[in-house]
Amino acid sequence: MQAMTRLAVAVLMLAAMLSAAGCVLKNTLVGGIGGDCFAETEWVDFLMLNDIMYTSNPDGTKEVVDGWRGEKVGEVSYMLDEHACTKHKTKNGDAAYLPIGTPIYAMNGYKPSYRVMAGGKVYEADRNPNAKTIGDLWDIDGKIAKVSLESGMDGSPIGDFTPEASAIFARDLPQLKLVGFDTIYKDNKPEYGILLRVHLQDGTSFRMVFYENANSFTAGVYGTEAMKTVVVSERTRIKKAAGLM
C-alpha cells in the first residue's frame, strides 16, 4: 500500500513537470535513428492565445453547458498532433489536438485570461507571463465554494473541508505569489503530496496538490501558514472520519 502511494505521488509530480514542458514523449521511434521529428509524441491538451498557455480540465468541467460560451476571442491556427516536431516552439494560435479553424470563446463568468472554451472543452490558464499572483493567473477571487480532500491512490473524493476552513483557504489562495514549480522543486526535498480539489460556485472545480514540508502547491506557489494549518488539520479530520487513520 505504501509503495502504491509513493508511486501515485511520483506520477503526480512528474505529470506536473511534464505539463510545464508541454509534451510527454513515449520514447518510441517511428523510423530511423534519433531525430526530433521521428519521436512519437503525446502532447498535453493545451492551446495558446495572447501568450497565455491554457490546458484542458476534463475532470473538473465534465458537463460543459452551452450557456457558458461567451464571445469569440480567437481561433486555432496550427494543430501540433501529427504535425509538430518535439522541439516545436509554441506560439499563439497553437493547440495540441484542436483542428485548424476551431473557434476559441471566452467563458461567461470568468476573465478570458483564466478560462476559454474550444472544441466543447474548457481550458484554464496554466502560464501567463503577466501574472504575478494566483489571483492574476486564475479568476477565482470570491468564486470558491468549498475545498475537498481526494485520495492519493486513485483521486476519488474523501470528504469536504469545513466551511470555516474552506473560507480561510479561499481567502489566501488568490494572494499567493507565483514563483514557479521548477523553483519550488529545486529548493525542496521530494515528499508525498496531499490531493485537494477546489470547487467553484458554478459547479466546476480543479485539483491542487499540497506539499506539507515545503508548504507549497504544484501551481508554483508557497502557501501561507494559515493555509498549511487548515490543510493538515482538515486532512487528519477527514481521514479519521472516513476510517482511513
| pLDDT at 102 (0 to 100) | 98
235 Cβ partners below 8 Å, 6+ apart? 149, 194
What is the pLDDT at residue 85? Answer: 83
What integer pLDDT is reported at residue 38 of this predicted model?
Answer: 53
**Is 85 inside a domain boundary?**
no
The C-alpha cell that represents 243 in the structure block: 476510517
What pLDDT is stored for residue 36 in this prediction?
62
Separation between Cα atoms, residue 206 and residue 16, nearest integer Å:
14
Does 23 fall in a domain? no
Please check whether residue 213 lies inside any domain of the structure.
yes
Rounded to 10 degrees, what is the CA torsion of 93, 23, 132, 197? 110
Position 39 scores a pLDDT of 59
**What pLDDT does residue 243 have?**
96
The number of domains in the chain is 1
Among residues 161, 225, 154, 170, the alpha carbon closest in space to that of 1 is found at: 154
Minimal CA–CA distance to 47: which of 137, 138, 134, 124? 124
Note the pLDDT of residue 186: 92
157 lies in some domain: yes
Domain that holds residue 235: 141-245
Query: What pLDDT was estimated at residue 231?
Result: 98
Within a domain: 44: no
pLDDT of residue 27: 35
Task: For residue 242, tell me if it sits in a domain.
Answer: yes
Amino acid at 50: N
Domain annotation covers residue 5? no
Tell me whether residue 189 is in a domain.
Answer: yes
Residue-level pLDDT, tens digit, the chain, 245 residues: 443 333 344 344 444 444 444 554 333 333 333 456 655 678 899 999 999 999 999 989 877 888 999 999 999 999 999 888 878 899 999 999 999 999 999 999 999 999 999 999 999 999 999 999 999 999 999 999 999 999 999 999 999 999 999 999 999 999 999 999 899 999 999 999 999 999 999 999 999 999 999 999 999 999 999 999 999 999 999 999 999 98
**Structure pTM?**
0.83
Residue 159 confidence (pLDDT) = 98
